[in-house]
A and B are shown apart, each in its own frame.
Chain A
Amino acid sequence: MDTSLLSAAIVGGVLNGSLYALLGLAIVLIFRTTTVANFAQGEMAMFSVFILIMFADSLPLPLWGQWFVTVLVSAVAGALVYIVLLRPNPQAEHLNLTVRTLGLYTLIYAVSVYFWGANEPYTVPSLFGDGTIAIGGFHISYDQLGTILVTVVLGALFLLFFQLTQLGLAMRAVAINPEVAGLLGVNVAKITLMVWFIAGAIGAVVGLLVAPVSFLDTLLMRPYILKAFTAAILGGLYSFPGVIAGGLVLGLAESFASIWISIHLREPFTFAILLIALLLRPGGLFGRVHKVRV
């Protein structure tokens, strides 16, 4: 295989894979602590980018400052989603809670189309500039490099936060058993609020990384959310390292499938991988089969 083609496949695979992984982290974080599959995670990310270009970019701040404001506002919006949408009637079944996120998904999409659909797609500035680095016959752009860097740093910080901080410990306790965590003095409602806050922030970062590469439209995150769920399932749905590995495996698999097999068969190929992985390891690559005592 041509080396520049191979390099492009690796970079493309790692790039997309790291985005799937990051979005998957937000999904797994919420799922672990609340057992809610947040189907609105992608639309929340898309909405964050609209926050940037419709509101934050009028602030007298450099682009990184506007990014920071957008991530912060998105994090608060994530927390608000929990307060308004999931906290009422928390004793409802998990399916009920999950369907609420499906409703939110539809609502965010409809509102975005109503306000901004007519003029899409929008150009979103990249935080990393638009230059390219040439290495031999292979080119990697600043935004590709920046995206990979941000996802690696954010993923590492996230894992460290979860393993080494008091808040991370509390989140893990809530994830394992919220009732027992509550009895041991952990404020479960506050921890859950923090989880949604963090997931909102992570989603915003993913949206802000994707949009400059593929233009912003109201369907921005549709290709990513399904892959992020796939990465999460591949990784075992409860495992943070698992979702990162799942995302990278998925990204690289589809990238190589598009070169070796066909661009048009890469999605069937990647979902075939998911099926095979689940048949051979029902708990995912890094997961365990969770048994429930009845």
Chain B
Amino acid sequence: MRHVTFLAATFAAALYATATSAAPGVTDDKIVIGGTNAMTGPVAAVCSAVTHGAQAWFHKVNEAGGVHGRMIDYVVLDDAYSAQRAVGNTRRLVQQDDVFAMFGGCGTATAAGVLSFLKSQPDVPYLFPYAGLRELLEPLKPGVFALMPLYDQQLVAILPYVIEQMDPKPKTGAILSNNIAGVEAWREASKKTFDEYGIELVYDDLMEVTSPERAAFVVQMKAKNPDLAVIADAAPGGARIYQEMKRQGWKPKMSTGIGTFTAEQFLSQVSDVAEGILIAPGFVVPPTDPAAAACNAALKVTNPDIEPNHFSVFGCLTAAVLVEAFDRAGRDLTREKLIAALESMDGFETGISGPVTFSSESHLGLDSVIPFGVKDGNFVVLGSPIKAAN
């Protein structure tokens, strides 16, 4: 009889263990999450910092004992900013490595790839990519959450601010955008703002993000001589544009763009041209801000050779929000509990960004941008956060 009781107890324990580790990627002492990012390729210098920042923050949390006794294991595969490779990486991480969630990454085209694959795996959460893709949020998907305001929201917020700063007011404008998923939304947002301020659109064109060609676009834009240029490009492409303006001896009276232009690597290449003519939207404080000290210190432990930048601070932000969600979800972690924990966040203060709020109706965490200008070769915060209304 005692033998039977022992067997039954063992069987029950095994059943319990199976039940408690039912969530993929979650074991007694570890939560495995996956990510795909451009660790090499045309946008790697900027995008890889998002991953480095997140990994640094997870390392810091793990060193302090993890979350509910579990370490966070963040597995990142390189997609070199190729949507096809991003899909392949996601397939491997989800179907082979059995990760709990897809997390982070950087790049709109690659995020679109991840999202397309996860349509067949709707249970897998996809959290906080650095991507301005409207499809992340609309229609609302139970497991998909974003922190960064969409590119059109960024432009809706920053463009009126930029126009207000200009004296005299601009009469003509240009829009130069990367030809990637979601581009129509931000072109339309820019055109609408131009219309509202009576600015004539004199040049509007699309560029290929993976092509280095920018000179021909600047030649065309120069011929139209707009007062204000909206340039929605990745950081390396944007740097080429400003360099080309310098080469061709022309620049608009003012320019703005999307959050990619708050990368320090971008600034280091164009600060002399961009000074006084660029206002860009940031989502987190600059790395020079005292509030970013903990993030910078964490990065110094894991990647001492990498200079902190806007993207590494954004990486810390994504990790901090996920850690908070894991904490709220409790020891008995499941994907459903994680989603519920995220949706319970209302004004969560990270210290390095505006308050983070999610709900069951909105999976966008940040609703404001910080206007960044360039002074003496550095980014400076020009004013209070601007609401990035939908």
Report A-chain residues with C-beta under 8 Å of the C-beta of B220. 5, 258-259, 263
Contact A141 B222 (CB under 8 A): no
Name the distance in Å between B345's Cβ and chain A's nearest Cβ.
33
Instruction: For B39, list chain A residues within 8 Å (CB).
Output: 117-118
A219 touches B42 (CB 8 A): yes
Q: Is the CB of B236 within 8 A of A215?
A: yes
B93 interface residue per 8 A CB criterion: no
Instruction: Please give, as numbers and ranges, the residues of chain B lying within 8 Å of A134 by CB-CB distance.
Output: 249
A259–B246 CA distance with the chains assembled, in angstroms:
20
Q: In the complex, are the beta carbons of A259 and B219 less than 8 A apart?
A: yes
Q: Which residues of A contact B269 (CB under 8 A)?
A: 123, 215
Alpha-carbon separation in the docked complex, A223 to B216 (Å): 14
Q: How far is the CA of A219 from the CA of B205 in the complex (A)?
A: 24
Given contacts A123-B269, A141-B247, whether A118 and B48 have CB atoms under 8 Å apart is: yes
Q: Does A132 contact B (CB under 8 A)?
A: yes
User: Whole-angstrom distance between the alpha carbons of A281 and B236 in the complex?
Assistant: 41
B40, B211, B222, B223: which contacts A113 (Cβ < 8 A)? B40
From B48, B80, B211, A223 is in contact (CB under 8 Å) with B211
Question: Nearest CB to that of B208 among chain A residues?
Answer: A264
Q: How far is the CB of A286 from chain B (nearest CB, A)?
A: 28
**Other-chain residue from A2, A12, A123, A217 in contact with B215 (beta carbon distance below 8 A):** A12
Question: Does A243 interact with chain B (Cβ within 8 Å)?
Answer: no
Given A215-B212, A215-B239, A215-B240, are A8 and B40 also a contact pair (CB < 8 Å)?
no
Q: Mark B214-233, 1 if CB is under 8 A from A, else 0.
A: 01110110110000000000
Residues on B with C-beta less than 8 A from A9 are 219
For the complex, is A214 an interface residue (Cβ under 8 Å from B)?
yes
A139 touches B249 (CB 8 A): yes
Chain A CB count within 10 A is highest, among B215, B222, B240, for B215
List chain B residues, Cβ under 8 A from A144.
Answer: 247
Residue from the list B44, B247, B268 in contact with A120, Cβ < 8 A: B44
List of B residues within 8 angstroms of A113 by Cβ: 40-41, 80
Q: Among the listed A8, A119, A121, A220, which residue makes an inter-chain contact with B219, where contact means beta carbons less than 8 Å apart? A: A8
Q: Which of B188-238 contact A (CB under 8 A)?
A: 205-206, 210-213, 215-217, 219-220, 222-223, 236
Is A4 interfacial (CB 8 A cutoff)?
Answer: yes
* Complex Cα–Cα for A130 and B268 (A): 15
Q: Are B247 and A121 in contact (CB under 8 A)?
A: no
Residue of A nearest to B48 (CB): A118
Measured CB to CB, the closest approach of chain B to A255, in angstroms, equals 8
Judge whether A218 is part of the interface by a CB distance below 8 angstroms.
yes
Main secondary structure of the interface of B (DSSP, over half): helix
Contact A118 B44 (CB under 8 A): yes
How distant is B180 from chain A, measured CB to nearest CB, in Å? 15
Given known A8-B248, A113-B40, A139-B247, contact A121–B236 (CB-CB < 8 A): yes
- In angstroms, how far is the closest chain B Cβ from the Cβ of A164? 37
State the main secondary structure of chain A at its contact with B: helix
Confirm or deny: B250 has a beta carbon within 8 angstroms of a beta carbon on chain A. yes
B contact residues around A4 at 8 Å (CB): 222-223
Q: Are A121 and B248 interface neighbours, CB within 8 A?
A: no
One of B211, B216, B248 near A258 (C-beta < 8 A): B216
The answer to whether A8 and B222 touch across the interface, beta carbons within 8 angstroms, is yes
- For window 236-294 of A, CB contacts with B under 8 Å fall at 255, 258-259, 263-264, 266
Pairwise interchain contact A223-B246, C-beta atoms closer than 8 A: no
Q: Within the assembled complex, what's the spacing in Å between the Cα atoms of A118 and B48?
A: 7
Please indicate the chain B residues that have their CB under 8 angstroms from the CB of A143 in the complex.
247
The verdict on B77 contacting chain A, using a C-beta distance below 8 Å, is no
Q: Mark B30-50, 1 if CB is under 8 A from A, else 0.
A: 000000000111101100100
Q: Are A263 and B217 in contact (CB under 8 A)?
A: yes
B45:A121 contact, CB within 8 angstroms: yes
The interface centre, meaning the residue of A4, A139, A143, A215 with most chain B CB atoms within 10 A of its CB, is A215
A120 near B40 (CB under 8 angstroms)?
Answer: yes
Contact B41 A2 (CB under 8 A): no
Chain B residues contacting A217 (CB-CB under 8 Å) are 41-42, 212, 236
Taken together as a complex, chains A and B put the C-alpha atoms of A134 and B250 apart, in Å, by 11
Complex: how many Å from CA A144 to CA B249? 13
A258 to B207, CA, bound (A): 13
Chain B's nearest CB lies how many Å from the CB of A149?
A: 16
B223 near A218 with CB under 8 A, answer no
CB distance from B39 to the nearest CB of A (A): 6
Most chain A Cβ neighbours within 10 Å, of B41, B236, B240, B246: B41
Residue interface mask A68-95, B partner, CB < 8 A = 1: 0000000000000000000000000000
How distant is B187 from chain A, measured CB to nearest CB, in Å? 15
Q: Nearest chain-B residue to A130 (Cβ)?
A: B246
B239-259: CB near A (< 8 Å → 1, else 0) gives 110000011111000000000
A220 CB to closest chain B CB, in angstroms? 8
Closest Cβ–Cβ distance, residue B25 to chain A (whole Å):
26
Residues of A within 8 A of B236 (CB): 121, 215, 217
Residues of the A chain whose Cβ atoms lie less than 8 Å from the Cβ of B215? 12
B66: min CB distance to chain A, Å: 28
Per-residue 0/1 for B43-66: is the Cβ within 8 Å of any A Cβ (1 yes, 0 no)?
Answer: 011001000000000000000000
Interface string of A120-152 (1 = CB under 8 A from B): 110100000010101000010101100000000
A117 touches B216 (CB 8 A): no
B219 partner residues in chain A, CB cutoff 8 A: 5, 8-9, 12, 258-259
B→A interface (CB under 8 Å): 39-42, 44-45, 48, 80, 205-206, 210-213, 215-217, 219-220, 222-223, 236, 239-240, 246-250, 268-269
7 other A-B residue contacts (CB within 8 Å) besides A121-B236, A213-B247: A117-B40, A121-B45, A132-B247, A139-B250, A214-B240, A217-B212, A264-B206
| CB-CB nearest 9 A-B residue pairs | A117-B40, A139-B249, A141-B247, A258-B216, A8-B219, A5-B223, A214-B212, A121-B236, A132-B249
- 9 residue pairs bridging A and B, Cβ less than 8 Å apart: A8-B222, A119-B44, A120-B41, A120-B42, A120-B44, A132-B247, A141-B248, A263-B216, A266-B216
